[in-house]
Chain A
Amino acid sequence: AQSVAQPEDQVNVAEGNPLTVKCTYSVSGNPYLFWYVQYPNRGLQFLLKYITGDNLVKGSYGFEAEFNKSQTSFHLKKPSALVSDSALYFCAVRDDWTPLVFGKGTRLSVIA
Chain B
Amino acid sequence: DAGVIQSPRHEVTEMGQEVTLRCKPISGHDYLFWYRQTMMRGLELLIYFNNNVPIDDSGMPEDRFSAKMPNASFSTLKIQPSEPRDSAVYFCASSLKIQGTYEQYFGPGTRLTVT
Interface of A toward B, CB cutoff 8 Å: 32, 34, 36, 41-46, 49-51, 90, 94, 96-105
- Chain A-chain B contacts (Cβ-Cβ < 8 Å), number: 49
CB distance from A20 to the nearest CB of B (A): 20
Let me know if B42 and A32 touch, CB within 8 A: no
Number of chain B residues whose Cβ lies closer than 8 Å to a Cβ of chain A: 22
Q: B12: CB under 8 A from chain A?
A: no
Q: In the bound complex, what is the Cα–Cα distance between A79 and B111 (angstroms)? A: 34
Neighbouring A residues of B105 by C-beta, 8 Å:
46
Tell me how far the C-beta of B73 lies from the nearest C-beta in chain A, rounded to whole angstroms. Answer: 18
Give the docked Cα–Cα distance between A2 and B33 (Å): 17
Contact A43 B91 (CB under 8 A): yes
User: Does B103 contact A34, Cβ atoms closer than 8 Å?
Assistant: yes
Q: Whole-angstrom distance between the alpha carbons of A45 and B106 in the complex?
A: 7
B114 at the interface (CB under 8 A from A): no
In the docked arrangement, what's the CA distance between A44 and B42, Å?
A: 13
Docked-complex contact B101 and A99, CB < 8 angstroms: no
Asked if B21 CB lies within 8 Å of chain A CBs, one says: no
| Residues of B with C-beta under 8 A to A90 | 43
Chain B residues 78 to 115 lying within 8 A of chain A, measured CB to CB, are 91, 93, 98-101, 103-109, 111
Contact A49 B103 (CB under 8 A): yes
Instruction: For residue A71, give the distance in angstroms from its CB to the closest CB of chain B.
Output: 21
Answer whether A97 and B99 are a contact pair too, CB < 8 Å, given A43-B4, A43-B91: yes
Query: B4 to chain A: which residues have CB within 8 Å?
Result: 43
| A44 close to B99 (CB less than 8 A) | no
